[in-house]
Each structure stands twice: as structure tokens, then as C-alpha cells.
């Protein structure tokens, strides 16, 4: 099978030779433009026992996780489209041999001041038949040197062997203010609007996730304008510092009574300042995309936090139109998982506080050491505490409104809609006085009643179908339910459907097995399975399943009864789940 990326991991001996070729061993920040899985970087620079920061670019996205696990920052995918090279002091590279000259010329173009070490096919330098190779040879003659090596990819430490000779190229680029610093620090990151339109046209996103092309293009143009303004400001500050130093010290400084003016116009100082300001702007730009995508308006607060946690990785990428669309595409690919997590979040919120918000049923018999009980939210009513407000307030606080908004987002998702027609937040804002007076007011998915004295909200679901859908999604995710309905017998589904009818008898049986005593500490199995240690949870599950088994047996129900179609019971667990995306995208 042909390797489209020409991936040849750098042998260890060659990696050491490449790093040793740098004349300046004071590494500020390093870029590896064709990183693969990081073989070339393993002998990389350390200071005080800590590896110095190295940024990577790798076109094969499957290798990004490996690089990040090694502690490297992935800042791009296609080096030939990368623009932000001026913050680096060193570039070390083992580019695809077929395009070696092109990659080295790109590195030279974007580097402001620093060194380049490149591993190339020796023929790239020995046989300069193209304009790119000829330009590379002139650069080596004027600004560097080359060493030819044989059989470096044929030794025992080479993962992929090839007899090709290599050229180890070193280049030194020096820029000063006299060499038109204004035009060389960040390599003119401004992109042509027409090019952005061409790139945007190559991507197709579902309607509910797609930002307008103009928004994305304008965000990139605005970012580039901000970077250009920052570049000019840094250059102006450096130039002013250079002139201030040339003018000499003040009388106060000469007499020892003042603070000496420092010259911060060196290329290293400029790069450090640019790096800090550039990454601040990039962080802001990516945050604007994350907050502007329509998908975030449909995320629960917990799902938003999870996405923002992943965003720490995303924001290391260069802020370009292709990378923005790649980010959005990644959200689409994870949408089913994101939505399922949202449903589980709200399910846990409902079951966390009041034990009578949910009922138990006998869970699916898995290969776990002990069979556990599953939980179902009640279809009639559930209660959430902690929503007190001061008497002079005319609405709930922000935290309470966020919880209500999460409920609406999840139940709209379960209903296959983008949002609730009548949200709970609007119900409380528009009818707060009526609710405080004890009235029951309806939204799209719930009637609600508010008790301000104790701070509880009572929710009365309008649709048993949606509550059942939530119970089944969560049940399958947590393996309380079988992955396929026909895998369980009729008895299993009978006790699942009638769980609310058995709830009182179940709790009575639990109290028989765990009687309260004034002389002994009462063991609470419900508390134990939620908060206890491993042995306590095990004991709690055992007691509860015994109680449930007794209740079901007294009613002639065997949850383990198999169907006549025994073949269905042979299906294996695959981890697949009913896709929330099918419903979420239906509208």
C-alpha cells in the first residue's frame, strides 16, 4: 500500500546528529513541521531537567494524539499553509523527500531570525534540476552548510529502511531592523478574502452547526489585522528602545539615582513579545468561534465545560479558515457522544438530590461481579431543591436559570427539536409572582410549581414518552439495559415498565433487610452505592438486588426469562447506542 505522506521515522542516530548541528544551543522555541510521531524530537533540548517547548505540525491527523501524549503542542496540519513561523528560534525537520526543497524554502520564508536543520534526500542538493532546488543550493552556499550521510535509514534503529543517502542541511537566517524589520517579523499573516471564500466552499457542514462563511472569513481577517497591529506595535516599541539606548543614559542614571534603561530591541526580545501577544490574540479568536457556533447554544452547562476543556488543545492550532472548519467538523463527529453525555448530566441532576425522584429496577445481567440495579426517573413528578431567592427578587438566580435552560436543551434534544417553544426560563421570568403564589405554570415539556419558602421546584413531565426515552438512553449507556431490546426476556421488560408500581413494595422490603435500630448504626444501601467505598457499594448492591428479587418473585416475574428466539440472547455487547443525532438533526 502506498504511503501518501512518505512517512519515514527518523532513526535515533540521525536525530542526534541533526540536533547537534545547531550552532546556537540556546533554544527559545522550536518548530518541527513534519513531526510524524515525534522520533526526530526525542533527543530534543532540555533545560534544568525540563524539556523546552516544541511545537509540531503533522498532516496525518491520526498521529496528533501520539504527539500530544509526548507533551508536544500540535499547531497545524499542513506546513506549506503555515504562516506563523516568526516566533521560533529553531526549526528542525525531516520533510517528505519528494518535496524537501519546497519545505525548506517555506521554513526559510517564515523564519524571522534563527536556525534551520533539515534532513533531505541527498539528490535534492546534488541534482538541482528545478528552480526550487537551485534556490535551496544558493541559500546553502550563502547562509549555511551541508553534510552528506550514507545508510542512515538502513541501520538497525531505522523503522522503515531505505538505502537513500541523506543531506543534513544547516541554515542561519539573520534579520535586523536595518533589513526591513517591519515586513519580516510575522510574515504578513493577512489572507486574501478570495482565497478564504475558495477554502470555505470546500467544506459542507450540517445547517445547525454551520456558521455563515462571511462570519468565519471576517473572523480570520480580523485576527490577521489584530496580529498585524500587534506586530507594528512591537516593532515600534523595539525601535524606540533601540533609539533610546543610542541616545545614552539620563543624568539621573549617570549619577546613580535612576533606573537604567534596558535595550529590549534584540531579535530574541522581539520574538518573545510577539509570541506572547500572538498567542493571546489566537486564544481570543478561537474563543470567539467556540462561543459563536450554534451548537454551543444547544449544549448543557456541563457539556459546554467539557468542550471548553478540549478547547485547550484546539486553540494551539493556527487560526485559519481550514482549521476552523476542521474544528467544527470535529464537533459534528462527536455530536452523538456530546448529546448522550448531556442526557446523562440531566439524569444525574434529577436523581442526585431526592431519592423519590427515581425508582429502581433489576438491571441487565452482565458479566460484572455483582448484578446491579438500574434507575428510572419517575414519569409523574420529580423535585429539585436549592432554589431560594430573596423576597425582593423578581426572578431566580443565574445558577437556577442555567439549570432550567439545561433541562429545556436536553428535552428538546429528546424531542428532536432545536429548542423548546416555551422555555422554563421564560416561564419563571414571565410568571414569577404567580409561581411564588403557588400556581402551577406550564412550559413546553413540564408544568412547574415553585415553593419559595423551602426553595424547591416541582417538575411535572408532560410527555411520558420523552421521560422513557431518557431512561432508555441512560440505561443503555450504563448497561442497566441490554443493547438490543430482544436480548432480554418478557419478564425483564415487564419489571422495567412497571418499576414505579413496585417502588413502595421495594422500599418496604429494603427496610425489612436493613431495619433501623437505636443501638446500632443503620446501614443505608442507597447511600452506600452512591457514596460508599468499594466494599460498602458491593454490600449495598447485594442487599438491594436481593430486595428487588424478592419483590419481583412475589409477583411472579422473572427478569431473567428468555424469549423463544434464543438466538437473540447470543448477541454480544458492542458498545453501540441509539444515536441521539438522528433525533437531534430531524428538524
Please tell me whether the overall predicted TM-score, pTM, comes out greater than 0.85 for this model: no
The per-residue pLDDT for 193 is 40
Cβ-count burial of 22 within 10 angstroms (0-12 exposed, 13-18 middle, 19+ buried)?
buried
SS3 76: strand
| Local structure of residue 568 (DSSP, 8 states) | G
The per-residue pLDDT for 520 is 52
φ, ψ of residue 580 in degrees (nearest 5): -65, -25
- CA dist., res. 32 & res. 90, Å (int): 9
Region of 575 on the Ramachandran plot (φ > 0 left; ψ -120 to 50 alpha; else beta): left
The per-residue pLDDT for 579 is 38
Residues near 155 by Cβ (< 8 Å), separated by ≥ 6? 11, 13
SS3 144: strand
Q: How far is CA 162 from CA 126, 166, 398, 572, in A?
A: 18, 11, 64, 45
Contact 365, 356 (CB under 8 A): no
Contact 542, 371 (CB under 8 A): no
E strands along 324-420, which residues? 358-362, 373-377, 382-384
Contact 379, 498 (CB under 8 A): no
Give 440-449's long-range contacts (Cβ < 8 A, gap of 24+). Answer: 443/408, 444/408, 444/411, 444/412, 444/420, 445/407, 445/408, 445/411, 445/412, 445/415, 445/420, 446/407, 446/411, 448/424
The per-residue pLDDT for 312 is 76
Copy the grid coordinates of residue 105: 524554502
- CA dist., res. 220 & res. 562, Å (int): 60
10-residue block means of pLDDT along the chain (587 residues)?
65 90 88 90 77 87 88 89 84 91 92 90 90 92 92 72 86 64 39 43 46 73 86 82 77 64 64 83 87 72 81 81 80 81 92 85 67 86 88 82 92 89 93 92 94 92 94 90 78 88 88 64 75 83 86 84 41 36 33
Amino acid at each position: 500500500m502506498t504511503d501518501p505522506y512518505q512517512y519515514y521515522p527518523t532513526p535515533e542516530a540521525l536525530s542526534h546528529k541533526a540536533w547537534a548541528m545547531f550552532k546556537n544551543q540556546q533554544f527559545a522555541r522550536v518548530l518541527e513541521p513534519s513531526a510524524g510521531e515525534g522520533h526526530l524530537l526525542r533527543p530534543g533540548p532540555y533545560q534544568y531537567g525540563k524539556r523546552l517547548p516544541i511545537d509540531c505540525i503533522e498532516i496525518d491527523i491520526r498521529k496528533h494524539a501520539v504527539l500530544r501524549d509526548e507533551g508536544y503542542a500540535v499547531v497545524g496540519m499542513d506546513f506549506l499553509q503555515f504562516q506563523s513561523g516568526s516566533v521560533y528560534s529553531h526549526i528542525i525537520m525531516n520533510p517528505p523527500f519528494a518535496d524537501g526543497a519546497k519545505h525548506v524554502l517555506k521554513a526559510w520564508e517564515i523564519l524571522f531570525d534563527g536556525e534551520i536543520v533539515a534532513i533531505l534526500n541527498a539528490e535534492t542538493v546534488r541534482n538541482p534540476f528545478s528552480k526550487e532546488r537551485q534556490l535551496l543550493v544558493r541559500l546553502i552556499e550563502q547562509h549555511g552548510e551541508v553534510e552528506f550521510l550514507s545508510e542512515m535509514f538502513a541501520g538497525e534503529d531505522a523503522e522503515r529502511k531505505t538505502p537513500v543517502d541523506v543531506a543534513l542541511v544547516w541554515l542561519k537566517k539573520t534579520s535586523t531592523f536595518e533589513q526591513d524589520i517591519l515586513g519580516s517579523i510575522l510574515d504578513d499573516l493577512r489572507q486574501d478574502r478570495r482565497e478564504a471564500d475558495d477554502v470555505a466552499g470546500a467544506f459542507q457542514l450540517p445547517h445547525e452547526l454551520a456558521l455563515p462563511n462571511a462570519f468565519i472569513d471576517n473572523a480570520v481577517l480580523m485576527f490577521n489585522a489584530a496580529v498585524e497591529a500587534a506586530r507594528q506595535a512591537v516593532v515600534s516599541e523595539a525601535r524606540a528602545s533601540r533609539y533610546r539606548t543610542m541616545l545614552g543614559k539620563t543624568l539621573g542614571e549617570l549619577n546613580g539615582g535612576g533606573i537604567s534603561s534596558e535595550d529590549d530591541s534584540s531579535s530574541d526580545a522581539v520574538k518573545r513579545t510577539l509570541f506572547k501577544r500572538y498567542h493571546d490574540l489566537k486564544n481570543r479568536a478561537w474563543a470567539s468561534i467556540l462561543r459563536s457556533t450554534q451548537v454551543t447554544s444547544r449544549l448543557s452547562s456541563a457539556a459546554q465545560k467539557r468542550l471548553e476543556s478540549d478547547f485547550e488543545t484546539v486553540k494551539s492550532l493556527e487560526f485559519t479558515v481550514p482549521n476552523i472548519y476542521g474544528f467544527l467538523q470535529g464537533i459534528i463527529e462527536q455530536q452523538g457522544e456530546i448529546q448522550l453525555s448531556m442526557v446523562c448530566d440531566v439524569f444525574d441532576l434529577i436523581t442526585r438530590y431526592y431519592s423519590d425522584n427515581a425508582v429502581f429496577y433489576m438491571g441487565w445481567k452482565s458479566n460484572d461481579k455483582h448484578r446491579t440495579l438500574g434507575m428510572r426517573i419517575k414519569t409523574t413528578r420529580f423535585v429539585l431543591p436549592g432554589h431560594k431567592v430573596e423576597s425582593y427578587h423578581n426572578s431566580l438566580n443565574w445558577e437556577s436559570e442555567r439549570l432550567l435552560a439545561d433541562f429545556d436543551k436536553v428535552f428538546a434534544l429528546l424531542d428532536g427539536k432545536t429548542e423548546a417553544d416555551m422555555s422554563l426560563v421564560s416561564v419563571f421570568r414571565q410568571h414569577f409572582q404567580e409561581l411564588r403564589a403557588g400556581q402551577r405554570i406550564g412550559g413546553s415539556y413540564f408544568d412547574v410549581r415553585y415553593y419559595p419558602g423551602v426553595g424547591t421546584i416541582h417538575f411535572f413531565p408532560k410527555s411520558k414518552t420523552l421521560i422513557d426515552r431518557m431512561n432508555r438512553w441512560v440505561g443503555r449507556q450504563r448497561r442497566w439495559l441490554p443493547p438490543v431490546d430482544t436480548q432480554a426476556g418478557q419478564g425483564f421488560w415487564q419489571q422495567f415498565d412497571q418499576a414505579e408500581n413496585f417502588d413502595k413494595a421495594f422500599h418496604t422490603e429494603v427496610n425489612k433487610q436493613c431495619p433501623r435500630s437505636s443501638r446500632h448504626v443503620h446501614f443505608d444501601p442507597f447511600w452506600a452505592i452512591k457514596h460508599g467505598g468499594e466494599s460498602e457499594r458491593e454490600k449495598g448492591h447485594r442487599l438491594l438486588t436481593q430486595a428487588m428479587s424478592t419483590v419481583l418473585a412475589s409477583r411472579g416475574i422473572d427478569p431473567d426469562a428468555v424469549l423463544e428466539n434464543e438466538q437473540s440472547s447470543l448477541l454480544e455487547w458492542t458498545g453501540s447506542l441509539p444515536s441521539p443525532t438522528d433525533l437531534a438533526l430531524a428538524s
